[in-house]
Amino acid sequence: MRTCQQLALAISGAVAVAVAACADDGGGRQRAPTAVAPAIRITGSDTMVNLVQAFAESYRMVRPEVSIQVAGGGSGVGIAGLIEGILEIAAAGRAMTAGERDVARDRHGTAPREFVVALDALAVYVHPSNPLRQFYVDELAEIYGEGGTIVRWSQLGIANPRCPSDKIVRLGRQNSSGTYAYFREAVLGPGRDYKLGSIDQNGSRDVVTLLSRTPCAVGYSGMAFAFEGVRAVAIAASRQSAAVPPIAATARDGSYVLARPLYFYTPAEPAGPTRAFIEWVRSAAGQEIVTRLGFVGVAPAMPADGR
Amino acid sequence: MKRIAHALDAASEPIVEAVIRLCGWSAIGLVVAILAFVVAQGLPAFANGLDLREFLTSVNWRPDSPVKPQFGMLALLTGSLAVMLLAMAIAVPIGIAASIYISEYCAPSTRELLKIVIELLAAIPSVVWGFIGYAVLGPIIMRVTDAAIGINLLNGAIILALMSVPIIVSVGEDALRAVPDSYREAALALGASRWQVAWAVLLPGARNGLLAAVLLGVGRAIGETMAVLMATGHAVQIPHSLLDPVRTLTATIAAELGETVAGGTHYRVLFVLGSVLMLMSLAVNLTAEWIVHGIRGRDAA
Amino acid sequence: MTARVSFVAGAVERRKQAIDRLARAFGFAAATLLIAPLVAVIGYLLVQAWPALTWSLVVENPARFMTAGGLWAPLVGTIDVVVFSLAIAAPVGVLAGIYLNEYARDGWLKRLVQLAVMNLAGIPSIVHGLFGVGAFVLAAGFGRSVLAASCTLAIMTLPVIITSTTEALASVPMAFREACWNVGASRWQTVRTMVLPNAMGGILTGIILQVSRAAGETAPILFTGAVFYVAIPDRGLAAFFPYGIRDPFMALSYHLFVISSQVTGVSDSLQYATAVLLVLLVLSVNAVSIAVRYRLRSRARW
């Protein structure tokens, strides 16, 4: 029967594809780099995911035989993966908590190692048509925090021209995000939760994109995500201090109150390709990428001898 | 040679039959396995700090709070139901009207065209719908309604309606076609217009099939993940207006599953949410099945 | 003298026809409400994507931090994982359909299997993802890989393959089977030589439709294997099969999700182009299924 033969051909074709894909497991090692047996799996912060992907892409020119796999999901995802032991490096926009470090130490027998790979100024953005020029930290806490009383732009003393409802629409991140956790700790303070009903966006860029279309909104995201559609606002730490804009200089010297380090965590002391990669990231070559993507570089502390 | 072939045939027959029966029963095995697994992964949450009363009645969803983790799903459940109800309110009238039109009124060539349109609509992946809701429909809603933000309950409902209409139309049209032509002919012979035939004869006759079509659309709407994740604004709150952002159960699982440590309370609570979803869609499906199966026993036409 | 009788529509008849016209217009409007969004959506996607729609979009890998270049890696990932999942689901589904239509006796067991198939079809895709994470990624130890994602997608596509197989088999007239039994064929011989070949059109249609569905789904692969970025070779045979079965992979549907929400500097046209490529992939698979259905229907001998 012809259709039987066609079916047989189709099945053998599918089987051939399957076998070839499996066979590539072995054959690939002799040839050009493949995605087989990744040497380094990096998962975590959405703030850093573009940066890490840029690292991976550039490192391929330096060490083509090392394959790197990048995934996002938020700092919480990376740290969870580190605890599970399914990755080599967790990228995090916040420090690991003591509880997380304990669990990791129990799981792996040794405490996780922390490396600062870049600095970020967590910026608060508004729509360009919004006349607001600066925020006090306590105002931000009243806007975002539970029980906070500021819900309208007029309460901040300004008239937001393109926002007829005068409502403050809070844009934020989902709770796996290190940005979310860092903002909560730095702005709301320990022991205070977010007010429910904020728009919890999936990625750092989502926040600024949505903000550029929503005049009523305020949002927080990494300084690297600024673009013409939004305006970063200067932040004053208290009523007595001056408002500081989120730029590289203020992030580096610490005068910007929401400056935070961006971390790589490894389950134990890194070795082999992972160690070489981290050293490369902290070297001038890696830090050049950091500044190119809009973050702030750190001074290299490890000698570049991994090559 | 032939004798060997015949012997092989005879010998392999019971094996083949056994394999076939096994494959048939695999469906039962899989449903049971999935249900049991999801529920079993979720149940320990109740022992570990998930308070049933808080879970069912509280809107506070703060699973990772440094102060005290709260697992109230009321706002999420309301979000899922609100989006589904609004989507059905849009999709059901349009879907039923369109299926009547396709089945009774239009010319065969138009019918073919519309069937192709339905298939194309059904084929668009949900992430593309979510992208459209986020990038295209959001700004439109803001411009038309002066809403504070464009991704909200209305946006999600419109997108879900567009996704559910193809199912309602195709199953509904099948149900209308299943009504015997003799019914139509009898009514037409009495002088009824096509609308009267549809209203007085076909809709009652195909009522169960149409109900099943609507329920299948409902099931689709409850279970949709990516489109609502991107188009509803993902905000934990009970909506007070159509323009308020909401969050659904499905989007919550999709957004938070990755960050949980396997076996932790948050992980298990997400499986509890999954169990709730499974039970809701199981209920909808069983109802649809019971309705359809009901007529097979009753109608002798 | 016979009076000339002419039929003039009375008030009742006029009202009836007016309502009929109204209903027709309403139905037409409803049908238009289906066509208009489809045309608008596809048209808008194409218009926005136009600058980025080049051949290199398909054959090149993502470059320059995923803001430029092509979509080869996600495209090949989607194809690989879909082929794998159908390789698992198609045989099991077809055999299960044969069971339901040819072997099962009418009774509680058959009803139970049909009920199970229907409920399996109704399970939300994210619950399939939950099951995939718990069962394949963690319990079976596959990790986030093509294997775990394929198994998850296979379970998701199974019920519709079963249903379309049973319908296709049911459409083969009983007379064909009776003819085989009359010459002494066993049940499997009948199925294999007579029923199955004649039902092949419907079966293949169902399988191909599930190919397009599996290609478009994101939720089941979200946690079972799709990743943001992994470097794959640009040339050679390895570029066609870059993902080993235990490797994570890039996928077109997930790629659209991440570049619209996370990657900075991606031009609007590249995002829309990704959406267009995904829709085109899905639609062309559907077109193949329609062509297969048409061709095999026209060759049907009953």
Homologous superfamily (CATH) for B54-300: MetI-like (1.10.3720.10)
State whether the Cα torsion A206-B156-C257-C249 is positive or negative: positive
How far is residue C218's CA from residue C129's CA, in Å, rounded to a whole number?
Answer: 9
Q: Rounded to 5, what percent of chain B is helix, strand, coil?
A: 80, 0, 20
Tokens of C205: 């249609």
Q: Residue A234, SS3?
A: strand
Touching subunits for chain B (3+ Cβ pairs under 8 A)? A, C
Averaged pLDDT of chain C: 86
How far is residue C229's CA from residue C227's CA, in Å, rounded to a whole number?
Answer: 6
Contacts of A202 in chain C (CB under 8 A): 257, 261-262
Touching subunits for chain C (3+ Cβ pairs under 8 A)? A, B
Contacts of C29 (CB under 8 A, 6+ apart): B97
Contacts of B251 in chain A (CB under 8 A): none
**Domain-wise residue ranges, chain B:** 1-34, 54-300
| pLDDT per residue as tens digits for the range B177-229 | 888 888 888 988 988 888 888 888 888 888 888 888 898 889 888 989 999 99
DSSP letters of A59-95? Answer: HHHH-TT--EEEE-S-HHHHHHHHHHT--SEEEESSP
How far is residue A137's CA from residue A240's CA, in Å, rounded to a whole number?
Answer: 11
How far is residue C165's CA from residue C177's CA, in Å, rounded to a whole number?
Answer: 17
Contact A237, A257 (CB under 8 A): yes
Contacts of B76 in chain A (CB under 8 A): none
Contacts of B130 in chain C (CB under 8 A): 257
Q: Is B276 on the interface with C (CB under 8 A)?
A: no
| Domain harbouring A133, CATH code | 3.40.190.10
Interface residue of A45, A129, A200 to substitute, partner B, most B CBs within 10 Å = A200
Q: Residue C74, SS3?
A: helix
Q: Rounded to 5, what percent of chain C is helix, strand, coil?
A: 75, 5, 25
Per-residue model confidence (pLDDT) at position A11 = 57
Q: pLDDT of chain B along its 301 residues, tens only?
A: 788 877 777 788 888 889 999 998 988 999 999 999 999 999 998 887 778 888 899 999 988 887 788 899 999 999 999 999 999 999 999 999 998 888 888 888 888 888 888 888 888 999 999 999 998 999 999 989 888 889 999 999 999 999 999 989 988 888 888 888 888 889 889 888 888 888 888 888 888 888 888 988 898 889 899 999 999 999 999 999 999 999 999 999 998 887 777 778 888 999 999 999 999 988 998 888 888 776 444 443 3
| pLDDT per residue as tens digits for the range B142-160 | 989 888 889 999 999 999 9
CA distance C265 to chain A (A): 9
B151/A199 CB distance under 8 A: yes
Per-residue model confidence (pLDDT) at position C263 = 74
Helices H / strands E in chain A, number of each: 10, 11
How far is residue A302's CA from residue B30's CA, in Å, rounded to a whole number?
Answer: 53
Measure CB to CB from residue A35 to each of C144, C196, C232 and give the nearest one.
C232
Asked, for residue A71, whether it belongs to a domain, the answer is no
How far is residue A135's CA from residue A206's CA, in Å, rounded to a whole number?
Answer: 22
How far is residue B272's CA from residue B295's CA, in Å, rounded to a whole number?
Answer: 35
Question: Is the predicted pLDDT of residue A148 greater than 60, yes or no?
Answer: yes
Homologous superfamily (CATH) for C55-298: MetI-like (1.10.3720.10)
- Residue window 179-198, chain B: list those with CB within 8 Å of chain C: 193-196, 198
Asked, for residue A176, whether it belongs to a domain, the answer is yes
A169/B63 CB distance under 8 A: no
Q: Is B58 on the interface with A (CB under 8 A)?
A: no
Interface residue of C95, C111, C130, C260 to substitute, partner B, most B CBs within 10 Å = C130
Name the domain count of chain A: 1
Measure CB to CB from residue A73 to each of B59, B233, B259 and give the nearest one.
B259
Question: Could you identify the residue written with the tokens 């718990």?
Answer: C134
User: Does ipTM top 0.90?
Assistant: no
HEC per residue, chain B: CHHHHHHHHHHHHHHHHHHHHHHHHHHHHHHHHHHHHHHHHHCHHHHCCCCHHHHHHCCCEECCCCCCCEECCHHHHHHHHHHHHHHHHHHHHHHHHHHHHHHHHCCHHHHHHHHHHHHHHHHCCHHHHHHHHHHHHHHHHHHHHCCCCCCCHHHHHHHHHHHHHHHHHHHHHHHHHHCCHHHHHHHHHCCCCHHHHHHHHHHHHCHHHHHHHHHHHHHHHHHCCHHHHHHCECCCCCCCCCCCCECCHHHHHHHHHHHCCCCCHHHHHHHHHHHHHHHHHHHHHHHHHHHHHHHHHHCCC
Contacts of B17 in chain C (CB under 8 A): 103, 187-188
- The Cβ of residue C181 has, within 10 Å, a number of other Cβ atoms equal to 12
Q: What is the C-alpha R_g of chain A?
A: 23
A69/C229 CB distance under 8 A: yes
Contacts of C84 in chain A (CB under 8 A): 18, 21
C120/B30 CB distance under 8 A: yes
Q: Residue A307, SS3?
A: coil
A72/C83 CB distance under 8 A: no
Q: Is B278 on the interface with C (CB under 8 A)?
A: yes
CA distance B126 to chain C (A): 7
| pLDDT per residue as tens digits for the range A11-23 | 555 554 544 444 3
Asked, for residue A6, whether it belongs to a domain, the answer is no
A181/B64 CB distance under 8 A: yes
Q: Is B289 on the interface with C (CB under 8 A)?
A: yes
Q: Rounded to 5, what percent of chain A is helix, strand, coil?
A: 40, 20, 35
How far is residue B30's CA from residue B28's CA, in Å, rounded to a whole number?
Answer: 5
Measure CB to CB from residue B146 to each of A164, A169, A214 and give the nearest one.
A164
Helices H / strands E in chain C, number of each: 12, 3
The range of the structural domain enclosing residue A207 comes to 121-253
How far is residue C196's CA from residue C191's CA, in Å, rounded to a whole number?
Answer: 5
Q: Is A248 on the interface with B (CB under 8 A)?
A: no
Q: Is A63 on the interface with C (CB under 8 A)?
A: no
Measure CB to CB from residue A199 to each of B59, B149, B261 and give the nearest one.
B149
Question: Is the predicted pLDDT of residue A3 greater than 60, yes or no?
Answer: no
Asked, for residue A22, whether it belongs to a domain, the answer is no
Residue A125 pairs in a beta bridge with A219, A232
Contacts of C80 in chain A (CB under 8 A): 21
